Every structure is written in structure tokens, then in C-alpha cells.
Amino acid sequence: MCNNHHHSKLTSTNKDLQQIEKQLDRRHFLKQTSLGIGAIALGSLLGAEKAFAGIGKESTEEEILKVYNKNRLGLPHHAPKAKRIIYLFQSGGPSQMDLFDYKPKLSDMFGQELPPSVISGQRLTGMSGSQSTLPIAPSTFKFNQYGESRAWVSDAMPYLSEVVDDLCFIKSMQTDQINHTPAITFMQTGNQLPGRPAIGSWLSYGLGSDNENLPTFIALVSKNGKGQPLKASLWGNGFLPTEHQGVQFRSGKDPVLYLSDPENYDGNDRRDMLDYLKHLNELQTDAYGDPEIQSRMSQYEMAFKMQTSIPEVTDLTNEPEYIFDMYGEDSRDPGTYAANCLMARKLLEKGVKFVQLYHQGWDQHNYCQEV
């Protein structure tokens, strides 16, 4: 195979990087041509389904391609039902057998030793590993059936039991991760070891952004969190370009850190400086050819846009009273779970695709009734 064909403009002098450049060049060509043909067909399909804003029956090929190329992978291969997601993560959630997974048999077997068919070689947690006996214990909550679906819900969730027909209960989940940190990491990234992209990062990478002034993936962590710790890698981009990492919002004066300009140095001044920074980084790209440099630059551009968009979206002064009533009194107190739920709603209204809320303090081991 001819290695130098079509690669007259290699920017790097390093042989390894040149090889990567050649691959990227070929991939770029294939992507452009195959997507170009596919987009025309998809455009007519999607035009009918109105799944994507910006593509209609009258759209030109150029317009379709513009929407199509908005993200790294092109459009999804099917018209999605869900357009945006709010993911509520109650860290250390109580056991399903105390909430919605009714297990009456446990009452019959109360006190008996956990049968080998259940343990079947599984590891024990640090807390139960030293126990001399592993007796069966039923839930201490009362269960009833609710709604047309007759879903079983315990009296630990009196309000949720009123809306069971709107909920989907998944009772087939299982894991071999028995400790908090690897379990949460597994849940968010698909692997117990840190280093893989969070689900929101995949969405950002695969589907792109609907609002170029806000990140596609935002993480909101409730203030004053206690209990099992959280860490930023849970909303990290892993091996994907860094622009796809979840941007964490904080409560208080600066929702996003390091966005504010020095006093009296306004947006236009910062724009000038960023243009020079961009120029400087372009020289670095020319020398080393690492796509991560461009990725970092797009993060600076996003930060610049967020200087305007964040104060606007986090301003709750014009929020109507009935919205606060819906979300409860706590929603007026920035950084609470309720306030973050309201914030997630506002972010979705602005076109953010994926907002993930983290709320600590749900780790349950004993005194469940009181907690």
C-alpha cells in the first residue's frame, strides 16, 4: 500500500504521529462520502418523522449535512423517542426489597441461613465478610399494590406509590460489584475501574449539542452531601475528547468555577486574548498534531460562551411561583436536591441533552425505618 499517497500535507515530523494523521485523513474521506450519500436518504426519512429540528422535506442536501455533521458520529441510526434526559442518581440507594421489589418469601424464611444457591461463590462485602452466620431477614416495611398496574410499593415511598402507572420498574438488574465506588463507577461508565467515559459523555460524543452556548452534559451535585463520596470521574469523559466531559455546576455565586473575568476586563477583552491563545495552540497543533489540543481549545470557547449563558440559565428570579410550588420550598435554596431538579428542568428547556443529578446520603444499612 502506498503510504504517501494523498498525504502531501502532513503537519508532524514525528513518524508515529504521521501514521495517525494518515489514518485520520482516510477516515475523514470515508466519513464525508458515506455520510453524504446516507444523509440524503436519512433526510427524507427524518423529514417525515420530524425527529430532528432543522431537517424538513424542503431541506437542501447542504442543510441536511449541516444537521447531520453536528456531532462526531452523524445522526443516530434510528429516530429516538427520548430527546433529553434527566438522570437522578441517589448515591447509596436503599435496597430494592425495601422499596418496590416485594419478597414475601423472606418473611417465611426469616432467620434461616442464606442458601448456597443464593451465595453461590459470590464475594462478601467488607461489612458482612466477618459474620459467622448469614441469616435471612425480610423487609421491615409494609407493601401494598397501587395503580392500574398493581405495582408493589412499600410504605417507605408514600408519594411515589401514587404515580406508579407512570413509572417503569426494572427488576432484572444484577451486578458483581459489591462495594460503593466500583459499583457507582460501573453504573456510570460500564466498567468498575475508572477511565471509561460516563454515559453522558457518550451521548455528547454521539449526538452532539442542541445549544452551542451550553455543554451537552451537565452534572449537578447536591450541596452538603454526606455519606459515600462522589468523584469527578463519574462524569468524566474517559478516553473520549475532553470537551465531552460533564461540566459540574455548583450552588452559590459562581455555578461554574473559573468563568469570571478580572474586574473591568470584559467579554471583548477576553475574546481578544482567546484569539491569541487559539493562534498559539494552532502552532502547537502544527508541531505535534495532537487532536486533544483542538479539544482543549473548544473547551475554552465553551467557557467563553458560558460566561453569558450560565448567569442567564441559573437566574431563577423570573421563575413563576407555581413552578416553585411544584418543586417544593427547598427549590428556592440553591444547591439543594429540589433546586437542582428545577435547574435541570431549566437546562433542558435551553436544549441541554443530558443533566445528571447526584444526591448523597442514601446509603442504608440499619435503622431503615427511622432514616
By CB under 8 A, name the binding residues for other proteins: 261-265, 269, 272-273, 276-277, 279-281, 283-285, 288, 290, 292-293, 296, 300
Q: CA torsion 209→211→213→216, rounded to 10°?
A: -40
Q: Which is nearer to other proteins, 275 or 349 (CB)?
A: 275
Q: Please, what is the end-to-end C-alpha distance for the chain in angstroms?
A: 68
Q: Which is nearer to other proteins, 239 or 276 (CB)?
A: 276
Q: Please name which of 256, 222, 238 lies closest in space to residue 362, comparing C-alpha atoms.
A: 222
Q: Which is nearer to other proteins, 21 or 210 (CB)?
A: 21
Q: Which is nearer to other proteins, 162 or 269 (CB)?
A: 269
Q: How far is the CB of 260 from other proteins (least distance, A)?
A: 9
* Neighbour tally for 136: CB within 10 Å: 17
Q: How far is the CB of 30 from other proteins (least distance, A)?
A: 28
Q: How far is the CB of 229 from other proteins (least distance, A)?
A: 27
Q: Which is nearer to other proteins, 146 or 300 (CB)?
A: 300
Q: Which is nearer to other proteins, 41 or 280 (CB)?
A: 280
Q: How far is the CB of 290 from other proteins (least distance, A)?
A: 8
Q: How far is the CB of 264 from other proteins (least distance, A)?
A: 5
Helices 267-288 and 291-314 meet at what angle, rounded to 10?
A: 160
Q: Which is nearer to other proteins, 90 or 295 (CB)?
A: 295
Q: Which is nearer to other proteins, 13 or 44 (CB)?
A: 13
Q: How far is the CB of 291 from other proteins (least distance, A)?
A: 11
Task: Tell me if 200 sits within 8 A of 87, measured CB to CB.
Answer: yes
Q: How far is the CB of 310 from other proteins (least distance, A)?
A: 19
Q: Which is nearer to other proteins, 269 or 349 (CB)?
A: 269
Q: How far is the CB of 3 from other proteins (least distance, A)?
A: 24
Q: How far is the CB of 298 from other proteins (least distance, A)?
A: 13
User: Cell numbers 431563577 label which residue?
Assistant: 316
